[in-house]
Structure 1
């Protein structure tokens, strides 16, 4: 059952624009923290599994597990947000991510692979929540500024996302001093960062953007944003399917190539600091261009930028496949393009879905869309290790790039129906 906002919400906040500015400020702070938690774990997850199991073929399993965990968390966060608002939904998701981080540390100390994989599954809640927060930024945004509002939330992740991987070596040293394996060190940072993000949202995300948006709509002060002109170019059913497809394919390709890049670099003699730098650059490219991407999506349309994401991912796959294993610079450039293509797809896909879905079912539908994204990421992470073990990293990268071209016929078909 869908709840409505408290009766006095709209009366207390006469200017939704003022509330939107406050919401964005709070989301920015929480995303900086959660970005550090997300990036730190991504940097060493595959290496920790490889070290514990002594096998490259299962090095993609951690990525698969925490993205699978994020699928379950996306459903939970979406349902809690639908029923009670964004604040409790997002805070609960980050607390679960913090608990998963603690479990990874314990598993590393005990050298227990089963506990490690279970904890990584729970850790995925932080990943899901980090993505779900972008929807909160769009709840109160004007139709013509939705993509830019989403981008503001995404770009905030850059600061923490870039810092997290570069702290892999220092946190590893700190962990060793505590008697913890060095590869588990970044998860100390993840746990603290996710817990702080949960506290920021729990105490300061007021008014709740989704509840206020409903109150404003019910009070007749604004039309339901999903019926606004920005949605006119996309039929309702087709909009949800296309938006989800864009984000699913970009997530699959990005996770598959990103997951195995640190392993590929490790196999060519690079240390944790070098792979951390490449992943930091990649995550910066995932989030830093967001303001420009948001403007492009609002200015030139969702379809064109979604198509551009497929082409950029193709370029990333070709370059990653062709780059020599000893070239940190070329791998960093390939991962930069990989992050940029993902950014184009995420912002465009998010805007398509938000334009299409009415407020009454928005949070639940957004959560279900993110489930599909998480499953795609889990599949990409698991398949990446198996493919690299069987054929090598260049084949994986090239396959991912070619696969991203599947976006183009889907976009063309939707444009034709329109």
Structure 2
């Protein structure tokens, strides 16, 4: 009991030092971004394996294309449960605990996939892919950690900085497919399981970086700073008591991310299978997926700046337009054209990037520190479930129709972003008009 009181007292002193010093807050904000960015380099490498060879591994073990989208669906479904778990854990114990546990569990799932490939167990493969999904969910939730101590004009930029560093690992991962495949064969493991060895190491390293270095915890400090301000300012306390979560902002932000996730996952999942049917090798597939993942993360720095300066709505509309172009180009591109596939998949990644950063910024804008991590976890559950749906349906559409049909439908689906965003703007304008009329 005495130890608990001492630790609480130490935390109070720590929060007081941060709440009274804007310089210390800025320093911790920058330090948090740096540490999370390091972890994202490893996290990006970890997620790339499932994206690049997951469908091919299932195709090889099952002997059919109809369920080639199942691995993507499974690890995306696993990421749904993990998103809620990591969000709840982060809300209660801080980002450090939630993100560390998520990455370690994802690494264990990748180890399970490797064992499943060795013993040729479909059941173990599917179970391991569910667990592997924890790494995907954690990699996404890490983007929120940089926003905990950011002000309104820094939030999208903070998200983008962490995502830029994800690029280094995410692009390297697919381009190491052949290297890891050869390494796997040299130790008696099926070549398609090789990239999952890289995933296991990368995810576990990401978790260890956060566990060792993410101190003090940014979310805990942010909550304590807010509580400290409320204690010392009764007027602010009374006004904040009436503040509630902006549900419209959460709905719009979530919808933007859900739609972009469905379109991106559906087309991306079946691209390796489509390329295999047209005679492309693993190296070429890795190159296309590498460009795709690079476009998902590398433009983030510019995207974050634009979201903060131009606005969340404008970039969300740009997301829909870019995804439409990507879908149409994927549908019309000849299967043997590497250049057009690279361009189409790069546009697909860029459209997803626009949607994720603008939607995430809306979620952060619309939540309070006291409930933010939990709400973020719930939103990421929806994103993961939508990705799982896209993964399952993509395999079936291609098996019973074609890759072109899948891409065309995905592009058209992205147009749904437009009415959602316009509705949001219309409600906002009406609200401002009503406030103006009430004032006068």
**Normalising by the residue count of structure 1, what TM-score does the alignment of the two structures yield?**
0.95
Q: How many angstroms apart in 1 are the aligned matches of 2:245 and 2:115?
A: 49
Shift of 1:85: 0.2
Q: Which residue of 2 aligns with 1:318?
A: 328
Please name the residue that 2:95 is paired with.
Answer: 86
Instruction: Say whether 1:69 aligns with 2:78.
Output: yes
Tell me the distance in 2 between the aligned counterparts of 1:276 and 1:381.
19
SS of 1:8 mapped into structure 2: helix
CA distance in 1, matches of 2:286, 2:308: 33
| Residue of structure 2 equivalent to 1:303 | 313
Give how far 1:12 is off: 4.6
Structure-1 separation of matches of 2:184 and 2:420:
47
**Displacement after TM superposition at 1:6 (Å):** 2.9
Please name the residue that 2:399 is paired with: 389
CA contact 2:270–2:403 (8 Å) conserved in 1: yes
Q: Deviation at 1:11?
A: 3.5
Give the match for residue 420 of structure 2.
410
Distance 2:169 2:358 in 1: 23
Q: Would the aligned equivalents of 2:325 and 2:347 in 1 still touch at CA under 8 Å? A: yes
Aligned-pair CA distance for 1:8? 2.5
SS of 2:64's partner is coil
Quick one: distance in 1 between partners of 2:323 and 2:343? 12
Match of 1:125 among 120, 134, 145: 134
1:32 and 1:160 in contact (8 A); partners too: yes
Q: CA RMSD in A?
A: 1.8
The answer to whether the 8 Å contact 2:112/2:125 transfers is yes
What are the Cα deviations for residues 269-324 of structure 1, in whole angstroms up to 9, with x where unaligned?
00000000000000000000001000110011101111110010000000000100
Q: Deviations over 1:333-373 (max 9, x none)?
A: 00000000000000000000100011111000000000000
Decide whether the 8 Å contact of 1:138 with 1:150 is kept in 2.
Answer: yes
Give 4+ residue runs of structure 1 displaced > 4 Å after superposition: 221-224
Alignment equivalent of 2:201, drawn from 192, 196, 200: 192
Q: Count the aligned residue pairs.
A: 409
Counterpart for residue 435 of structure 2? none
Report SS of the residue matched to 1:144.
Answer: coil
Bigger radius of gyration among the two: 2
Tell me the TM-score normalized by structure 2. 0.91
Deviation at 1:218, TM superposition (A): 1.4
CA contact (8 A) 2:16 2:225 kept: no
Aligned to 2:50: 41
Query: Which residue is equivalent to 1:376?
Result: 386
Q: 2:112 corresponds to which residue?
A: 103
Q: Hey, what does 1:399 align to over in structure 2? A: 409
Q: CA deviation at 1:94?
A: 0.2
Q: Where does the alignment leave 5 or more consecutive residues of structure 2 unmatched? A: 1-7, 429-440
The match for 2:376 is: 366
Matches of 1:275 and 1:12 in 2, distance apart?
52
> Does the aligned pair in 1 maintain the 2:157–2:304 contact within 8 Å?
yes
Structure 1: any 5+ residue segments left out of the alignment?
A: none
2:266 to 236, 239, 256: 256
Can you list the C-alpha shifts for 1:85-129, whole angstroms capped at 9, x where unaligned? 000000000001000000000000001111101100000000000
The answer to whether 1:276 aligns with 2:309 is no
Shift of 1:41: 2.2
Structure 2 counterpart of 1:30: 39
**Equivalent residue for 2:214, pick from 200, 205, 214:** 205
TM-aligned CA deviation for residue 235 of structure 1:
8.6
Q: Deviations over 1:147-173 (max 9, x none)?
A: 000000111100000000000110000
Distance 1:19 1:235, change over 3 A: closer
Q: Helix, strand or coil: the match of 1:10?
A: helix
1:216-252 per-residue CA deviation (whole Å, 9 max, x = no partner) reads 111219999xx99xxx9x9911100000000000001
CA distance in 2, matches of 1:314, 1:237: 28
2:3 aligned residue: none
Is the CA contact (8 Å cut-off) linking 1:40 and 1:167 kept in structure 2?
A: no
Q: Superposition pairs for residues 210-249 of structure 1, below 5 Å?
A: 210-220=219-229, 236-249=246-259
Please state if 1:170 is matched with 2:179: yes
Equivalent pair of 2:16/2:228 in contact (CA under 8 Å): no
Deviations 1:34-73 (A, max 9, x none): 1001012210000000000000000000000000000000
Of residues 1, 7, 12, the one that matches 1:7 is: 12
